[in-house]
Structures are given as C-alpha cells and as structure tokens.
Structure 1
Amino acid sequence: MAVVGVGIDVVDVARFGESLERTPGLRERLFTPDEAGRALASLAARFAAKEAMAKALGAPVGMAWHDAEVVNESTGRPVLLIRGSVKAQAAALGVATVHLSLSHDAGIASAMVVLES
C-alpha cells in the first residue's frame, strides 16, 4: 500500500452556520438527506471531510457534493462513502482505501483524509 493522496480542511462552525442561513438550498446542495439533519458542528465537520477528500483527489473539476457522504459505523467511527464522480476519480488514481478523521471543538471543525492504493 502506498499513499495516493492526503487532504485536510478546517471550517469555522459559526461562519459555516451563517452561510447555511444566508443561502437557501445550500444545505441540500452540500449534504445527502441522511447528513442534512445533523447538528451544525457535525455538518461543518462533514463539509470539511468533503473538502479534504477533494484535496486528496487533486481537486478535480466536476465533483458532486453528494458523491462523498460521511456515515458512521456502529462503533461511531466516521467513514466516507464514495460514488459517482468521486468514486471515478478515486479509481483513476488507484485508491483502494479511504481513511477519515473528523474533529470539532472550540468552534472549529476539521477533517483529514488519507487515500491509499
């Protein structure tokens, strides 16, 4: 296994909340229905995960927000489910494993993605 890509992103939770309030439809554009109902800090962390995934993949044009979805295993561990445009780019890079870490504290949400072949 080799590292194919690494991405990290940090989101100011309050500022992200203001963006969601100011822009009707943004929540639905960024998040799947299962993600959309979560608390603000969790949404900010999930947005950071999607941004980190895009960075790890080299920020290809045409990626769809809903093609990367953060879900939790029964243990609570976050996992990125990828499909469509994200899965196609991952396959093109030879990605076999996606690692995800999320955090939110003190008004900041962060995510790190590591892609392995």
Structure 2
Amino acid sequence: MSVIGVGIDVAEIERFGAALERTPGLLDRVFLPSEQRLPSGEARGIASLAARFAAKEALAKALGAPPGLLWSDAEVYVEDSGRPRLRVTGTVAARAAELGVTSWHISLSHDAGVASAVVIAEG
C-alpha cells in the first residue's frame, strides 16, 4: 500500500460554535444525524463537532479538494474501542475510487480551544 493523499485541518472551537448558532441549517448540511449524536455537555459536543468538521476538510484535502464533494457523503464515527473512522459514499467514494483509495487513517483532537484532524488516504 502507498499513501495517495494526506490532509490536515484545524477549527477554532468557539468560532465554529458561533457559526452553528448563526447559521442553524449548517448542522444538518455538514453532519449526518449519526454524527450529531455526540457526548453530553454542550462544550464537549461542540468540540467534537468541530473536530469532525476539521476531519471532513482534511478528507477533502487528502482527495485533492475537487469541486462537487458533498459533506453528507463522508461520515466520521467512533468504534466501540474509541478509534475514529471514516465511512464514505457518493461523491466522496467516487473520488476515492478514481484515485485508488482503499483505506483511511484518521486522527482527531481538541484542546486549548482548537480542534484538529489528520486524514491519510491509502491505496
């Protein structure tokens, strides 16, 4: 296997939370219902959403940031073990197939007011 693409992104948690408040439809436009069910506590939930947003941005970068990718065609979920994973469909799966991506590696973090994510596409 070889690395096909790497993406990294950061999101300021407070700014991201303000964007969600300012634009109510943003939550449903960017996140699937499964992604919206996060840990209890508003601050913790916003930080987790910001990390997932950063992951979707990092995913797009790993794929070369082509136009036409849909936010809803990428899902960030967490296994029972706590390991984050990606599930791709539609436009994102099509671009990944075009590039020969067969597996994903993802890392999420949030601390000191910043959420970050790294995505590695491998094929």
Superposition TM-score tier, normalisation by shorter sequence = over 0.9
Per-residue deviation, 1:75: 0.1
Q: Equivalent of 1:113, from 107, 112, 119?
A: 119
Per-residue CA distance 1:76-111 (angstroms, 9 max, x = gap)? 100010000000000000001110000000110000
Runs of 4+ more than 4 Å apart: none
Q: TM-score, normalised by structure 2?
A: 0.93
Per-residue deviation, 1:37: 3.3
Say which SS state the counterpart of residue 15 (structure 1) adopts: helix
Structure 2 residue 28 is matched with structure 1 residue 28: yes
Q: TM-score, normalised by structure 1?
A: 0.98
Say which SS state the counterpart of residue 34 (structure 2) adopts: helix
The residue aligned with 1:92 is 98
- For 1:98 and 1:37, the matched residues in 2 are separated by 22
The residue aligned with 2:3 is 3
The residue aligned with 2:42 is none
1:38-117 → structure 2 map (5 Å cutoff): 38=38, 39-117=45-123
- For 2:34 and 2:87, the matched residues in 1 are separated by 12
Say which SS state the counterpart of residue 61 (structure 1) adopts: coil
TM-align CA RMSD: 0.6
**Letter of the aligned partner of 2:51 in structure 1?**
A
Structure 1 unaligned spans of 5+: none
- For 2:59 and 2:104, the matched residues in 1 are separated by 9
**Letter of the aligned partner of 1:19 in structure 2?**
A
- For 2:33 and 2:13, the matched residues in 1 are separated by 20
> Matched residues, percent identical?
62
Structure 2 residue 27 is matched with structure 1 residue 18: no
- For 1:29 and 1:36, the matched residues in 2 are separated by 11
